Each structure stands twice: as C-alpha cells, then as structure tokens.
Amino acid sequence: KRARRPNHCSLRELELTVSELGLGYESDETVLLRYCSGNCSAHRQNYDITMKHMMQTGFRKKGRKNKVSNGPCCRPTAFEKDFSFLDNKSRYHTVQNVSAKNCGCV
Amino acid sequence: AEKHCNPCLDAAKACNLNSSCKRQRSAYIATCSKEDPNKGEACSKKRCHKALRLFLDRVPPEFSHRLLFCPCQSVGCAERRRQTIVPDCSYKDKEKPNCLELWRVCRQDSLCRSRLADYKVNCWVTPQTVSTCPNQDNHQACLASYARLIGTDMTPNYVDSSFSNWTISPWCSCKGSGNQEEECLNFLRYFTDNTCLRNAIQAFGYGIDNMQNK
C-alpha cells in the first residue's frame, strides 16, 4: 500500500498559452500560470467548526436560511506583478492578478 | 501553422518562464504602452527608452538577444521580432528626421555618442577587408553594441516584417540632405548596408538551431 502524500494547500504551476487563460486575449505566447490548490482541513478554526454545525442544524433552529462557507479555502494571498504580452494582432497588453504568488488557507 | 515554428515566440516563452526576464520584460512593455498623462500623447518616449535600457542591462543576453535576433522564416515571426522594442513608442515618431540631423542630436548626448562610437568599433569594417566583423569576426561584440543602442536617440530596428529581405535602420532618412547627401548615405549604411551586422544576426540564428539540434 502506497503512502499518500499529504495534499497541503500550496502553489502549483502550469504552462499555458495566453489564449488558454480564458481572459479573451488571443495570443500564442506561453506563460507560467501559478495557482493555489490543496487541502485546508488542518487550518480549521473554532469559527469553522461552529459554522459547520450552524449550517447543519443551528441556523434552521433559529429561523435563518443563511449559507456560509463551511471551512477555510486554499486561495492566493498575493498575486504576481503585472504581466505583459504581444497578442496575435501585434498589440501589447498588460494584465494584473492572473498568477498567484503565495497561497494560504483563509 | 506559424505557431509550430516561430523562434520569436519560443524566445518570448523562454523569457516568460524565467521570473526575472518576465518581470523586466513586462516592466518595459507596460511603460512603453502607457499613455503619457502629461502630454496626452501615446506614450513617454523618454521613459520607454529608459525602461528598454534597464531591460537590456539587467537581463542576460541569452534571453534578450534571443528576442531581438530570433531567426525568422515567416511574416508572423518577423513581425513579432520587429515589435520586440515596442516600436510605436521607442522607434517611430511623427516626423522622420534627416539622418545627419539625428546624428547631431545623438552626438549632443554623451550616452548616445559613446554607444554609437562603440557600435562603429564593433560592427563596422571597411568594405575592402577580408573579415566581415572587427576583432577577428567577433559577432557577439557587434550584437551587444547594437543592443546597447536601443533606448538612445539612435535606436535601431527592423524597418518592416519582411523575413527574407530584412533591413535595419534608425528612424531617419536621407531625404532633403542637399549637398550632404553622400555623407548622409554613408552614415545610414552603418545600419542598412552593414555586412558585419547582417552576418552576426544570421549567425545568431544558426547558433540557436545548433543548440536545439544537440
């Protein structure tokens, strides 16, 4: 039986063309997309435990229909600086906040 | 189809995958594409030139020269190569001055003057000589001197997106030279009719091919 590597929230990398980013730009230029993925269960606070309980029974008992996220999420805590590229019609573009720089469970 | 063989696109990829090159490239592109709020003009040429000089100073030639001298076999590639320095801001101007006038402007600036002198030392041999470049055909020295002219008043570039018959020139012409036409054409030939520069750029292309075949 293979020991499974713990899947912590961390920064991952993927090479993509700018067109594949889905931002509406057409450019065959290749970029490195950094993104956040992984598990955040180790970072649960009392808040998260309470919210999970409230979602299951607590809110209904008190007559509320609120929805809350039931745990911390693996998200970027900082983004890389601007990124510039030449599109397929020879125009330059500069875009912000595309690639993550740091990740955290928030 | 160009997607499959575009050395200039490969050069951009190599730069984008290196965090320092990517950051420095984005910095000059953003500066050179930004509108100048003071003048209401397309961009600030002065800031763009400074950003280009910083890029070429800080990024190793293995990245920057690859972007500037990528060997092209298609219009799409050659257009990308021409666009490397963001010519709309760094190269073009509303009017095309006479080359002797541009030369005068360059000589008044110590940076431009010394870099142009450096270019002539490393990229120009008299037509009768056996070798095509000075210092025992030192192509690298010529390419480096050429790159150092980018971001000065004498910024050179490819004049169009032709890949088979490309020409390099600063933004000037010899129209209206009067009795100095001969002198003007002799100056312009340092760029447009320069065997050393031409060979150095073509040899750079072969160098990349050889590396990829290894």
How many angstroms separate the CA atoms of A74 and A106, rounded? Answer: 7
CB A85 within 8 A of CB A18: yes
Residue B19 distance to chain A (closest CA, Å): 9
pLDDT for residue A4 is more than 70: no
Contact A81 B79 (CB under 8 A): no
pLDDT at residue number A60 = 84
The residue of A92, A93, A96, A98 whose CB has the most chain B CBs within 10 angstroms, and thus the best one to mutate to test that interface, is A92
Which amino acid would we find at residue B98? N
Beta carbons of A85 and A31 less than 8 angstroms apart: yes
* Mean pLDDT, chain B, integer: 90
β-pairing verdict for A92-95 and A83-86: antiparallel
pLDDT band per the 50, 70, 90 thresholds, residue A61: confident
> What confidence tier does B212 reach under pLDDT thresholds 50, 70, 90?
very low
Cβ pair B105, B182 in contact under 8 A: no
ipTM: 0.86
A70: its two tokens: 């039931």
Helix (H) or strand (E) holding A17: strand A10-17
Q: How confident is the model at residue B204 (pLDDT cuts 50, 70, 90)?
A: confident
Separation between Cα atoms, residue B33 and residue B90, nearest integer Å: 10
Which band of pLDDT confidence, cut at 50, 70 and 90, is reported for residue A59? confident
Nearest Cβ partner of A94 from B13, B29, B83?
B29
pTM, whole model, 2 decimals?
Answer: 0.87
Q: Which of B6, B9, B25 sits opposite A84 (nearest CB)?
A: B25
Contact B154, B160 (CB under 8 A): no
- pLDDT tier, B40 (very low <50, low <70, confident <90, very high otherwise): low
pLDDT tens, residue by residue, A71-96: 889 999 999 988 999 999 999 999 99
Sign of CA dihedral B91, B96, B99, B102: negative
Higher-confidence residue: B51 or A42? Answer: B51
Question: What is the reported pLDDT for B42?
Answer: 74
Per residue in B70-126, pLDDT (tens digit) is 999 999 999 999 999 999 999 999 999 999 999 999 999 999 999 999 999 999 987
Of B3, B23, B80, the CB nearest to A86: B80
